[in-house]
Amino acid sequence: MFTNHLKIALRYFFRQKTYSIINILGLAVGIAATLLILSYVEFELSYDNFQKNGGSLYRISVMTTKEGKVLGDGPQFTPPIGPAMLTEFPEVENFVRISNFGEATFTAGNNVLRVSDITYADTSFFDLLSFQLVAGDPRRVLVEPYSIVLTEQAALGLFGGSDPIGKMVKADNKDLFKVTGIVKAPPANSHIQYGALVSFATLYKNPNLFLDWNGGNRYITYLKLRPNALPRDVEARLPDFMWAHINRETAASGLLMKAYLQPMPRIHLFSDRDSGALRTNLTVFGLIALFILLIACVNFVNLTTARVARRSKEIGMRKVLGADRSMLVKQFLSESILITLLASIVAIVLVEISFPVFRNLVAKNLDPWSVFEPRTLAGLVGIIVVVGVIAGSYPAFYLSSLQAAQTLKGPGSDPGRKGMLRGLLIVLQFGISIALIVCTVIVANQLHYMKNKDLGFNRENILRIPLIGDDAQLTSTLLKQELLRVPGVVSVSASSDVPYNDFTSNGYLPQGEQTVMMIHVVDIDDDYFKTFGINVIEGRAFSKDFPSDRSAYMVNQTLVRTLGWKNPIGKMIIRDNAHSIIGVVKDFNYAKLNSPVEPLILTQQPWRGRYDFLSVKIQSPNVAASVEAIGKVWSSLVPSTPFQYAFLDEEFDRLYKSEERFEQTFLTFSALGIFIALMGLLSLASLSTEQRTKEIGIRKALGASALSVTGLLSGYFLKWVLVANVLAWPAAYYFMSRWLEDFAYRIDITVWPFVAAGAISIVLGWLSVSFQTIRAAMTNPVEALRYE
């Protein structure tokens, strides 16, 4: 019986090739888009699942408040908290501390390699965390100071094929490290990333670091709790613990620190810096997958139910020849499920073909075979069954229930109730597509606004050169002098940071305040304002003519407003000593535009008297030649460190890659949604004109023009597209209003994105039905009526 059903289904498929191909292709595109998005969602949900101790691992996070106001919240804190909790909390089995100290240039013999994400780690690193050590003793590799564990890639780059264990590497032409182990690179779905691991004990050999309770907040601590220990019991005792170790001293200034635990499996989605945006993206992508699949399914159901009416005589003949209802139900369901199965096979092929493009779109190292994960395959099987049953239900259960005499009368015209249902399905399809178009336009406008907003400083043709290592930092003054001689270089500035991705913060006590404030700070030289075009609006800038400026401060407008100062010049800010304010700069955006400009102090007191960056302003018709000349100056003065640079405007653009991916995702899947919907509309228009062939013939025989007939046929579909616009616009406006709330600087939503989406949908809808309707309207009425 199954074989017979299959033969009939295939025979019907080949007899109606055009509609079958449209059905399969439309559904395949929808399923493929859904599978791609599901693979991305699956990847994001899989973060840290490889950690064998994940269920008992917790990261300590600390919220800092001042008089009830939250000043900061994150896992970066001082190093002693882990050892103290191991001693005082019986629930704590062990701890591990890590700290990412950026990048360095390693040399081994004649080999030089730039390594990023250099991470300091405790000896318990490989005991608590499931990272795979390839060579070395996991209990010993991070014990001794100046021990280093290289990744396989780093070891290959520095030592080739020879065994690196026990050999020495030099970092930034300064510190020597002994290679004690080789580790595999961390998985892409790990929130802990490293390029090399250095023993935490090394930090205690650096006299310039503060590693006590009042030290720098740049260390992350993970705890492993004992079996059956409850994290809520640990958190209940943390207030007393924090009071005894740090809050007792800071409470007088209004500062309090609240520690709490973050479960390892939830860190990526709920506790990292960008977790909120990530959850938003996952929700959006999930909704897009649902919407695209819904459009495809509606299209499939619409075409299936519209086409099956032409098989009513077939159903009648089957009943006359003895077929019972159960046989007909099985026949139509098997046909529907077969088409869905074929669409799924095509979808898998489309996924594998498009996977590299999609992987670049979301900027994730996704596995192309992730669509065959058990959960994804289970979802695919569910799609096949559900869609197949829904699409086949109308012919299977309704038409099969009719008497043979009813079905033998023929398909007739489309009844009003069925036509209304079909129209509502068109509204659903196009409403989703229109909303996606509106969202795409608004996201693109917001991204364009952020990239072109006046930031309060000049970022064009500025070369950002990191001063890494002692040689580069100690030579910065000479570098400036020599670089100014390069043709095309008009200004050079040294600073602790460059304005594009936020500045560090420290505690300061401004005049008139009773408690310490956390304020952003950047250390600059005299040429900073000239290089970046930052305006001084009150007082004056730092100058070599005033030696006392080396201990003076400048501030931005926001700090003046925050403190309520009417005459800021001459006011004092205390950090170690009192520092007088000599000038106020106009606010400039030194962080992403998601955040407003915050209070800022500008000093000429870099840590250890060393700057971290050179910024070189170029004005030359041949920028490439100037960059090449700058590289030659660098190589001659700092031969121990490779010349590295980046243009500031390019660095700035990279900040908004996630928003660009968001825009591209909307654009891609909006196009897919419109494509599927238009395929369905084209097919429905063809079916409608077929079903109304005799009506068209009669109208033309009675004198109706081709134009009026075309308008009649097209109007039915276009009115539903108009209704889709009316319903889609409020939904898109609400969603985009919520999305824009994440940006401190944002566009106003105007009517034009909605008008554009409406125009696009109407024009494309008209084009998709016009071919069929015009052809039907131009047909000789004799051809339509000759069987009457």
Given this model, what pLDDT does residue 470 score?
78
Q: What whole-number distance in Å separates Cα of residue 321 and Cα of residue 90?
A: 81
Task: Look at 185-189, 351-355, 403-407, 482-486 and tell me which has the smallest mean pLDDT.
Answer: 403-407
Top-confidence residue, 297 or 141: 141
Given this model, what pLDDT does residue 241 score?
96
For CA atoms 337, 340, 346, 352, the dihedral sign is negative
Give residue 431's pLDDT band: very low, low, confident or very high (50, 70, 90). Answer: confident
User: Exposure pattern of 510-524 as b/e (b: 16+ CB <10 Å)?
Assistant: beeeeebbbbbbbbb
Q: What whole-number distance in Å separates Cα of residue 134 and Cα of residue 693?
A: 74
Given this model, what pLDDT does residue 40 score?
86
> What are the Cα distances from residue 325, in Å, to 45, 257, 334, 397, 402?
46, 73, 14, 8, 9
Structure tokens at 259: 């520690």
Give residue 777's pLDDT band: very low, low, confident or very high (50, 70, 90). Answer: low
> What are the Cα distances from residue 624, in Å, to 465, 478, 620?
15, 23, 9
Q: What whole-number distance in Å separates Cα of residue 19 and Cα of residue 13?
A: 9
8 Å CB contact between 673 and 295: yes
Return the number of other C-beta atoms located less than 10 Å from residue 395's C-beta.
Answer: 24
DSSP labels for 491-517?
A: EEEEES--TTS---EEEEEETT-SS-E
Return the number of other C-beta atoms located less than 10 Å from residue 692's C-beta.
Answer: 20
Residue 624, judged by CB atoms within 10 A of its CB (0-12, 13-18, 19+), counts as exposed
Q: Which of 214, 254, 268, 278 is nearest to 71 (CA)?
A: 254
Percent of the chain clearing pLDDT 90 (strictly above): 32
171, pLDDT greater than 80: yes
8 Å CB contact between 633 and 478: no
Q: What whole-number distance in Å separates Cα of residue 133 and Cα of residue 184?
A: 6
* Cα end-to-end distance, the chain, whole Å: 39
Task: Look at 184-188, 386-390, 492-496, 769-773 and tell me which has the smallest mean pLDDT.
Answer: 769-773
8 Å CB contact between 427 and 581: no
29, pLDDT greater than 90: no
746, pLDDT greater than 90: no
Instruction: Tell me the backbone φ, ψ of residue 416, rounded to 5 degrees.
Output: -65, -45
Give residue 325's pLDDT band: very low, low, confident or very high (50, 70, 90). Answer: low
Beta-carbon-side half-sphere exposure of residue 356 (alpha carbons within 13 Å):
1
Given this model, what pLDDT does residue 413 score?
43
392, pLDDT greater than 70: no
Task: Look at 127-136, 470-479, 663-672, 692-701 and tell me which has the smallest mean pLDDT.
Answer: 692-701
Given this model, what pLDDT does residue 410 score?
53
227, pLDDT greater than 90: yes
415, pLDDT greater than 60: no
Task: Look at 184-188, 304-308, 585-589 and tell me which has the smallest mean pLDDT.
Answer: 304-308
Given this model, what pLDDT does residue 787 score?
47
Given this model, what pLDDT does residue 436 score?
84
416, pLDDT greater than 60: no
User: Exposure pattern of 288-326 as b/e (b: 16+ CB <10 Å)?
Assistant: bbebbbbbbbbbbbbbbbbbbbebbebbbebbeeeeeee
Task: Give 679-729 pLDDT, tens digit per residue.
Answer: 777 666 666 666 666 666 666 666 666 666 666 667 777 788 888 889 999
Three-state secondary structure call for residue 489: strand
Give residue 414's pLDDT band: very low, low, confident or very high (50, 70, 90). Answer: very low
411, pLDDT greater than 60: no
Top-confidence residue, 780 or 606: 606
> What are the Cα distances from residue 764, in Å, to 294, 327, 624, 639, 669?
20, 41, 46, 62, 16
8 Å CB contact between 507 and 516: yes
Task: Look at 184-193, 362-371, 450-459, 512-521 and tell me which has the smallest mean pLDDT.
Answer: 362-371
Given this model, what pLDDT does residue 581 score?
94
Q: Which of 22, 96, 4 is nearest to 56 (CA)?
A: 96
Task: Give 595-653 pLDDT, tens digit per residue.
Answer: 788 899 999 988 778 898 999 999 988 888 999 999 999 989 988 777 888 888 888 87
Give residue 151's pLDDT band: very low, low, confident or very high (50, 70, 90). Answer: very high
Given this model, what pLDDT does residue 7 score?
65
Q: What whole-number distance in Å separates Cα of residue 457 and Cα of residue 589?
A: 8
Structure tokens at 548: 């006392």
8 Å CB contact between 552 and 540: no
Return the number of other C-beta atoms located less than 10 Å from residue 408's C-beta.
Answer: 16
Given this model, what pLDDT does residue 788 score?
45
Residue type, 215: G
Strand order in the sheet with 646-647: 489-495, 613-618, 462-466, 646-647
8 Å CB contact between 495 and 531: no
- As a whole number of Å, the CA-based R_g of the chain is 34
Task: Give 433-468 pLDDT, tens digit per residue.
Answer: 888 888 888 888 888 888 888 888 888 889 999 887
Q: What whole-number distance in Å separates Cα of residue 548 and Cα of residue 346?
A: 74
Task: Look at 63-77, 526-540, 565-579, 675-689 and tell me which has the smallest mean pLDDT.
Answer: 675-689
Given this model, what pLDDT does residue 150 score?
96
DSSP state of 321: T
Given this model, what pLDDT does residue 717 score?
74
Residue 650, judged by CB atoms within 10 A of its CB (0-12, 13-18, 19+), counts as exposed
Top-confidence residue, 492 or 112: 492
Q: What whole-number distance in Å separates Cα of residue 716 and Cα of residue 238?
A: 68
Matching residue, tokens 């199954």: 2
Q: Which of 212, 416, 391 is nearest to 308 (CA)?
A: 391
